């Protein structure tokens, strides 16, 4: 009887069978592992404890629970998470729904003096500055407060003319009213004119008073200097209202889709304080360096908590449009190649899905594709769940290949 093994054809057939067996080993091993996993009991607190039969953990005494392998649904396999783990991770679930949202954009802003609230103090006659009551920038002055005193030969002559008219015709006579009007046109206030009649004599210097309350933002005089009408003696600025310039790009302005967005203003050094304004003016000139645009707002500052030059955080809010499908921005995982959310597929079952994002609306973001209204997603701890899905294992993946003896 011939020996079969010595035949070349038989040798080739045996080699082929052996190669097919080795190629099928990984699949057989995976099938065997999954079959074993279905009958494995583990400790919730000590996942390294594994038994084939129900019982109690030899370490903590807790009852062993059956470990169920996660079922694979679709292209991305879901993961199964127990209620205890969900509570430990503080998993928060939100429902996908349509919302009527207002577009919001964050931008830097700067406070500055409102130029229409600046006044210049001039002398209407030439003379010498004698007493100066304001000495530094930033001083606050009240309306009618004396700023300095001026000696002027013209004012001395006008005082004498008034006294002559007052003595000749008395107060209220045509001559007295004409002389008083001349003093008013030269910058003398009515209280000083009344004092002239009471004292019956002229004064060497005449006070120059603040036309309005404000803060001194420029000083052009010093004691003893000669002052002419063309010179700015002082500059006063009313800071009860400021201009706030918000800098933003043309793309951000287009994203708001509202030419007159509302302003919510915050100061980094004053936590909890919020200023609001509306009806801005879009300046027609762009910044030559940054190419940014400027929206200018009028902001009330009656308490003086804002100062010119302050750096501020601005939030621009546009009008709400039609309802859009949106989710909390905290639920979105921004990856280099795509954006994902963690979809809830059942009790304790989660699956990562790809989404296409739209515009940002404050703490919400528009979903243009990938989700449907009514679906539930994870808005907290989704990165941990997504990492588990990427590894294709449960949260208890750190388990030994064999049981540990205790």
CATH architecture of 123-231: Beta Barrel (2.40)
Average pLDDT over residues 112-119: 96
Fold topology of 82-100+322-378: 2.40.420
HEC readout, 183-235:
HHHCCCCHHHHHHHHHHCCCCCCEEEECCCCEEEEEECCCCCCEECCCCCCEE
Res. 6: pLDDT tops 90: no
Mean pLDDT computed over 146-160: 95
Q: Which fold has domain 104-115+239-317?
A: Elongation Factor Tu (Ef-tu); domain 3 (2.40.30)
Residue 42, pLDDT > 80, answer: no
Give residue 290's pLDDT band: very low, low, confident or very high (50, 70, 90).
confident
Which of 338, 327, 334 minimizes the C-alpha distance to 364? 327
Q: Are 355 and 367 in contact (CB under 8 A)?
A: yes
**Residue 36 scores a pLDDT above 70:** no
DSSP assignment letter at 17: H
Q: What is the pTM of this model?
A: 0.62
Distance CA 189, CA 184 (A): 6
pLDDT of residue 216: 96
Tell me what the pLDDT averaged over the chain comes to: 81
């Amino acid at each position: 009887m011939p020996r079969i093994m010595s035949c070349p054809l038989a040798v080739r057939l045996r080699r082929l069978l052996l190669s097919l067996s080795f190629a099928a080993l990984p699949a057989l091993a995976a099938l065997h592992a999954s079959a074993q996993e279905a009958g494995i009991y583990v400790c919730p607190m000590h996942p390294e404890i594994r038994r084939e039969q129900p019982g109690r953990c030899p370490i903590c005494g807790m009852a062993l629970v059956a470990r169920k392998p996660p079922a694979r649904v679709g292209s991305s396999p879901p993961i199964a998470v127990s209620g205890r783990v969900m509570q430990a991770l503080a998993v928060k679930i939100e429902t996908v729904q349509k919302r009527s949202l207002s577009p919001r954009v964050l931008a830097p802003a700067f406070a500055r003096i409102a130029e229409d609230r600046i006044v210049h103090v001039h002398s209407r006659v030439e003379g010498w500055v004698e007493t100066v009551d304001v000495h530094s920038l930033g001083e606050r002055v009240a309306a009618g407060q004396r700023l300095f005193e001026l000696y002027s030969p013209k004012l001395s002559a006008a005082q004498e003319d008034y006294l002559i008219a007052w003595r000749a015709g008395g107060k209220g006579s045509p001559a007295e009213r004409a002389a008083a009007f001349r003093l008013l046109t030269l910058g003398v206030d009515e209280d000083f004119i009344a004092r002239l009649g009471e004292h019956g004599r002229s004064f060497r210097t005449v006070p120059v008073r603040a036309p309005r309350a404000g803060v001194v933002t420029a000083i052009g005089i010093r004691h003893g200097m000669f002052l002419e009408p063309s010179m700015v003696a002082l500059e006063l600025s009313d800071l009860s209202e400021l201009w706030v310039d918000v800098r933003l790009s043309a793309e951000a302005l287009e994203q708001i889709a509202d030419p007159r967005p509302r302003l919510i203003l915050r100061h980094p050094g004053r936590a909890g304080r919020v200023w609001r304004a509306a009806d801005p003016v879009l300046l027609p000139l762009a910044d030559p360096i940054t190419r940014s645009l400027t929206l200018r707002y009028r902001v009330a500052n009656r308490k003086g908590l804002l100062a010119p030059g302050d750096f501020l955080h601005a939030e621009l809010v546009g009008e709400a449009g039609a309802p859009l499908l949106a989710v909390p921005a905290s639920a979105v995982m921004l990856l280099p190649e795509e954006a994902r959310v963690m979809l809830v597929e059942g009790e304790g079952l989660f699956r990562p899905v790809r989404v296409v994002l739209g515009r940002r609306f404050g703490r919400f973001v528009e979903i243009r594709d990938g989700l449907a209204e009514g679906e539930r997603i994870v808005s907290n701890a989704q990165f941990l769940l997504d990492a588990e899905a990427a590894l294709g294992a449960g949260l208890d993946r750190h388990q030994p290949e064999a049981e540990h003896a205790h």
